[in-house]
Amino acid sequence: MNALRLAWKNLRHRPLNTTFNMLLMALSGGLITLGFLVSTQFEDHFGKNLGPAELVLSAKGSPLQSVLCNLFHLDAPTGNISLEECRPFLNPRHPVIAQSLPLALGDQAMGSRLVGTTTEYGPWYRLQLAEGRWFEGDFQAVLGSDVARKSKLRIGDRFVSDHGLAATDIASHQHADDSFVVTGILQSSGTVSDRLILVTISSYWSLHHEEHAEGGEPHHHGPPCLTNEDLAATDGKITSLLCSFRGRNVQSLNFGRNVNENTGLMATSPAIEINRLYEITGNAASLLSNVAFLLVFLALLSLFISLWQAMEDRRYELALLRFAGARPGQLLRWTMAESAMLSLLGILSGMIAAHLLLALLNPSLGLEARYGIRPDRLFPGEWLVPLAGLVAGMLAGLLPALRALRTDIHHTLSEG
Amino acid sequence: MLTTLNLQYRYPDNERSFTFPDARCDAGASLLVHGPSGCGKTTWMHLIAGLLRPEKGEIVVADTALHALSRKELDAFRASTVGLVLQRPHFLAALTVLENLSLFQQLAGLRVDKTHIAGLLEALDVRDKLHAKPSSLSQGQSQRIGLARALVNHPRLLLADEPTSGLDDERTALVAKMLLDQAKQRGTSLVLVSHDARLKPFFTNEIAFS
């Protein structure tokens, strides 16, 4: 009978008490795990998807919405902007802007967002093709790795797109006339690009041919726009232009404000908007972790109290064990093993529950797809959680154990 | 087997002190220590078991002078040499009878011997309780198993503290015979401490405390 087996038997002997304490430990350990899992991966996700963009030019609206939509593909576009307004910023010799990436958004195919862009997209996000080639004309598509995996489409396969961002969108209808052919599949990058379908902006214009015709607007008849230069040479509407600066200087600092004041465009700094977002989520995360730490305290207190009570109940047992030759150190180990085991098991089951909960919520909330939160990942330092549980459990057991040792064998046995 | 000489004990927390008459019990013999409640019988027994240290006097158990032993040596000595029968035996509630007895073997530094444990329970007519939890035992059964536990490490001295209090005449006789029989069969000395006058007919050696 070693310390662990005896601890296990003692725990099983009081199933209600053990279950309650384990639930409390599991709840606190689970909440801590959940909080860290979500917040670390959430911030990691946003950090990774920022790319080189230092300024987002889009239609006027909510700055945060513009950043969420154009960089993270989470929200709806703020509206359209005309190429005429953007043309100066597409010029490679612009004094402030080093590079730019035009985007046309708003449609989807097979549940993934369809992104109209140029061949600049690959170098901008440092993406490599796993197979095939980049689009060389309209209605050619490059699939993100996740899209390819889920749709099982191969090079040369065809698919049609839906108008609108949600399949259930009332305004959505299939662009049945025009189908895309897959020309390339991207290597996985762990960013939002894995879940996008990249096409030319001129394909986008062709898709919206009917609406343009009805609305009296011109639609695209010219050659496909593959590069930024092609785009600069034509007219039409896009959703946004992502820009990087030549350097950090007074000009670049004031550039956004100048655009906002002097043009019909909205210039948004992703860094500022993301920090604002972190402030909001950070408050929620710190509230969650405060509640979690309060729960940890309560769980340890409950563990301490029930062990204290158990030691009272086991006074005779302990006195007998001492009579039978058990050394004080042995009894100390046994008692601490009991609380450490309970705490560790509770914390571990809570951690497993946290991961399972994320896995369960993942499909309906789109945790992985939208926020890059993977249930099967450990957060950095997650192994410290069970270790802390073990140590805290041992400490919670220390005082009851010391009290058990102070019990006078003679007095206890004399009482009958 | 057991010799005490000029034994005195004083409680550390109050003025109460006891002076005990000299006692002697040969190997394999039995001794009844008799006296009214509160005369220090249990204290005396715990002195013999090495749980308490005397203020004065000498105790020699199984050729070992207890005052010469350290705390740790006393713990080991007690585990291997002395068996204790209590008025109400207490067991580790989470363990079965077999596990309780095995643990006592283990604590004395002996190998766990399940055959020996089963044999002891057989001799005391409670073999079927080998895998029972202590909470399921009747009073009589737990007393027998308490005795089995006291005997499990082949002690040379068996100490019994008020084993018959609260029992009727018939049960008192049964318990007394059981203790004497087992001690005799196993060549163990038996020292029984009690205020119960009904036990006197069963013992030839007796010391009265007052």
> Tell me, what CATH number does B156's domain have?
3.40.50.300
* Residues A9 and A60 occupy one common structural domain: no
pLDDT of residue A283: 85
Domain count, chain B: 1
B166 near B136, Cβ under 8 Å? Answer: no
* Residues A215 and A337 occupy one common structural domain: no
Domain span including residue A116? 55-268
pLDDT of residue A349: 96
Helix-strand-coil percent breakdown of chain A, rounded to 5? 55, 15, 25
pLDDT of residue B167: 84
* Residues A66 and A34 occupy one common structural domain: no
For residue A337, the chain B residues in CB contact (below 8 A) are none
A208 vs B124, residue with greater confidence:
B124
In whole angstroms, what is the distance from residue B43 CA to residue B9 CA? Answer: 8
For residue A274, is it within any domain? no
pLDDT of residue A131: 93
* Residues A150 and A236 occupy one common structural domain: yes
How do the pLDDT tens digits run along chain A, 416 residues long?
Answer: 788 899 999 999 999 999 999 999 999 999 999 888 888 888 888 888 888 899 999 999 999 999 999 999 988 888 899 988 888 898 888 899 999 999 999 888 888 899 999 999 999 999 999 999 999 988 999 999 999 998 999 999 999 888 776 554 444 556 556 789 999 999 988 888 999 999 999 888 888 765 544 444 445 566 788 888 888 888 889 999 999 999 888 888 889 999 999 999 999 999 899 888 888 888 888 888 888 889 989 999 998 999 889 888 888 888 888 888 888 888 899 889 999 999 999 999 999 999 999 999 988 887 887 787 888 888 888 999 999 999 999 998 898 888 888 878 888 888 75
Q: Taking CB atoms and an 8 Å limit, are B75 and A327 in contact across chains? A: yes
* Residues A65 and A179 occupy one common structural domain: yes
pLDDT of residue A377: 86
Smallest Cα distance from B202 to chain A, Å? 24
A13 near B96, Cβ under 8 Å? Answer: no
pLDDT of residue B120: 92
Q: How many CB atoms lie within 10 A of CB A286?
A: 12
**B145 touching A (Cβ < 8 Å):** no
ipTM (interface pTM): 0.86
For residue A324, the chain B residues in CB contact (below 8 A) are 78-79, 103-104, 107-108
* Residues A356 and A333 occupy one common structural domain: yes
* Residues A108 and A242 occupy one common structural domain: yes
**B39 touching A (Cβ < 8 Å):** no
Buried/exposed A263-275: b ≥16 CB within 10 Å, e otherwise: bebbbbbbeebbe
Q: Taking CB atoms and an 8 Å limit, are B109 and A325 in contact across chains? A: yes
* Residues A144 and A221 occupy one common structural domain: yes
Mean pLDDT on B28-51: 90
Which one of B43, B95, B107 has the shortest CB-CB distance to A326?
B107
Task: Report the half-sphere exposure of B120 (CA within 13 A, side-chain side).
Answer: 25
For residue A273, is it within any domain? no
Which one of B87, B94, B95 has the shortest CB-CB distance to A416?
B87
Q: Taking CB atoms and an 8 Å limit, are B76 and A325 in contact across chains? A: yes
Contacts of A349 (CB under 8 A, 6+ apart): A22, A26, A29
Mean pLDDT on B170-180: 91
Q: Which of A268, A297, A331 is the endpoint of a domain?
A: A268
Mean pLDDT on B15-29: 88
Q: Which of A217, A241, A268 is the endpoint of a domain?
A: A268
Mean pLDDT on B195-202: 92
Q: Taking CB atoms and an 8 Å limit, are B107 and A320 in contact across chains? A: no
Task: Quickly tell me which residue has 């093709």 as its tokens.
Answer: A129
Q: Name the residue of chain A whose CA is nearest to B162's CA.
A: A416
In whole angstroms, what is the distance from residue A348 CA to residue A394 CA? Answer: 15
In whole angstroms, what is the distance from residue A409 CA to residue B79 CA? Answer: 14
pLDDT of residue A211: 52
Domain count, chain A: 2
- As given in the structure block, the two tokens for residue A262 are 């002097």
pLDDT of residue A216: 44
* Residues A183 and A149 occupy one common structural domain: yes
pLDDT band at B98 (very low <50, low <70, confident <90, very high): very high
For residue A276, is it within any domain? no
Q: Which of A268, A293, A311 is the endpoint of a domain?
A: A268
**B108 touching A (Cβ < 8 Å):** yes
* Residues A295 and A408 occupy one common structural domain: yes
For residue A334, is it within any domain? yes
Domain span including residue B14? 2-208
